[in-house]
Chain A
Amino acid sequence: MTRDSRGNWFLAGFTLLVFILLYGPIFVPIASSFFALKQGVVNWQQPTTLAYVTLASNEGILVALRNTMIVGVSAVVCSLILGMASALYFNSGRSKGRALLQFIIFLPFLMPPIITGLALLIYFREIDFDRSLVTVIIGHTVFVLALVYRTLLVRLQSLSRSLVEASYDLGASGFQTFRYVLLPNLTSAMIGAGVLAFALSFDETMITLLVTGTDNTLPTRLWAMMRLGFTPDINALVAVILALTTLMCLLAARYLMPRESTGT
């Protein structure tokens, strides 16, 4: 943008600094996870993988990890189905009802999560719905639905309307049109949205804290552990989570980036 190279070097340096600021809180615990911990202070002279061994035998964490997976996968499946149905419906015409539906779906995304969480908490109590992993799944679905819906709708709207018309014109039924024309063109958006939704669900803390019963997900488990003071296996867990998250990011990027050209 600017051709002033001194200015550019300054900007590059500043950007590097911000990157360090952003990555510091991620890499410090990972680095510490490979060293021994003595009274809360890392001993950098004593490398060890003990933290990982402790982690692997920490029953509470493993259960929380399993819960997180269950919740994440369920929320992804629910939000994909609901998001797809809503996007197809919204795209099939114009009406006040459609605009209202879209507004409702966007609400939990606009409001702070604490409000979504509290609203669900109060609602579940009023309708006598016991808090459990099911309520957590509902909460997460509500939370990620806007994103999934939006991603699918954008892709749907990028498809020429005449593609659907052409399919009907050639004799296809509504289902055949969905199966053969729309779905193949939405697959990558679905995978991308699904991965992103999973990543959001994986890390969702505020809503989960409010709507969960006795079950813990990984973030709420971590939250509880850290308030009580920490153990070395937390650092190990951070490393594991980072690895998983990075993998998910790469997957999401792979499917959400615009394709260079169709087919080869």
Chain B
Amino acid sequence: MSRRRFKPATASSHWPATGAVFAFPIAFILLPLAAFLAYSFFWTEQGVMSYALTLRNYARFFTDPVFLPVLRQTCVLCLEVAFLTVLAGYPVAYFLASLRGRIRYILLMLMLVPLLMSYVIKIYAIRSILGGHGALNRALLWLGLIDEPLTVFVFNLNAVLLTLTVLLIPFAVLPIFLSLERIPRSLMDASADLGASATQTFMRVILPLSLPGTITALTFVFVLAIGDFLTPQMVGGQSGFTFGRIIYSQFGTAFNWPFGAALSVILAVVVIAAIALGTIFGRDRSALK
């Protein structure tokens, strides 16, 4: 009998079972990521791979006048998307959290159902709404705001911005809703009891307490937006170039895998930085007791 703390003899405490549990994640998550990281240090020229480690891919990224501006532009775009979704999502989350009983969860479910709808179809549908014959132009024509259909809504960065915002709103609503839901009603009663107006209660009690959820929402949406290459590919046209599209093209038309891997590593660094920032600023200070 071992002198260690006794564990009930479940299957998982045996070495073969432990090995089996680790096998799949190591074989199909860890090793692929390692291979991918290694690739970013390889080099290819005219279809010939060189497996000698080099920093040339990274050097190319920082020196070529194309890539860095696209990355910056993409980051700005995704930040805009994140702020727009929070701007739209906060009032919705606030309204849902203010409801009582079953209706609040039914509406929340309804808010999340579109997430499970085909992503590709939604992009396509939004594109057709934004397009020349689409619902948006018709509405504007009908309102008399414009005389002929506008083409500024599709096949450019505006289109990417609008489409991503519509697609990602539910991801902003959910974390904000969860943080609002956790605020006890008694805090609002206490604030009112102490003489605060509804606005003061919101600004001084609710907003600070829901800040962690709001920051989570920003991080969440930003990460999802920056990793997306489908939306820009479909509604971005020639001018709506984003970082994700460039990466994807390295594995398609440009066929330069090592360089694509290096660009993806840079994308991963941006994502990790975003998550880290979100974690630092979104830490729930009131929970640290």
Contacts and interface: CB of A to CB of B under 8 A. Distances in A.
A and B touch in the complex (CB under 8 A): yes
B18 A112 contact: no
Contact of A205 (B28, B119, B224): B119
Main secondary structure of the interface of B (DSSP, over half): helix
A118 B91 contact: no
A182 to B, nearest CB: 10
A114 B267 CA distance: 10
Contacts of A237: 121
A168 B10 CA distance: 10
Given A165-B8, A168-B8, A121 B251 contact: yes
Contacts of B190: none
Contacts of A168: 8
Contact of B116 (A4, A218, A249): A249
Interface in B59-96: 88-89, 91-92, 94-96
Interface residues of B, number: 84
Contact of A122 (B25, B35, B121): B35
Nearest to B126: A25
A29 B227 CA distance: 26
B4 to A, nearest CB: 10
Interface string B113-137: 1101111111011101100010100
Interface of A: 1-4, 7-8, 11-12, 14-15, 18-19, 21-26, 28-29, 40-41, 82, 85-86, 88-89, 92-93, 97, 101, 104-105, 107-108, 110-116, 118-123, 126, 138, 141-142, 145, 164-165, 168, 174-175, 177-178, 199, 203, 205-206, 210, 218-219, 222-223, 226-227, 230, 234, 237-238, 241-242, 245-246, 248-249, 253, 257
Which 9 A-B pairs rank lowest in CB-CB distance, beginning with the nearest? A112-B227, A123-B32, A1-B98, A25-B125, A119-B36, A119-B32, A11-B95, A89-B12, A104-B25
Interface of B: 7-13, 17-18, 20-22, 24-26, 28-33, 35-36, 39, 88-89, 91-92, 94-98, 105, 107, 109-114, 116-122, 124-126, 128-129, 133, 135, 166, 169-170, 180, 185, 188, 198, 202, 206, 223-224, 226-230, 234, 244, 247-248, 251, 257, 260-261, 264, 267-268, 271, 275
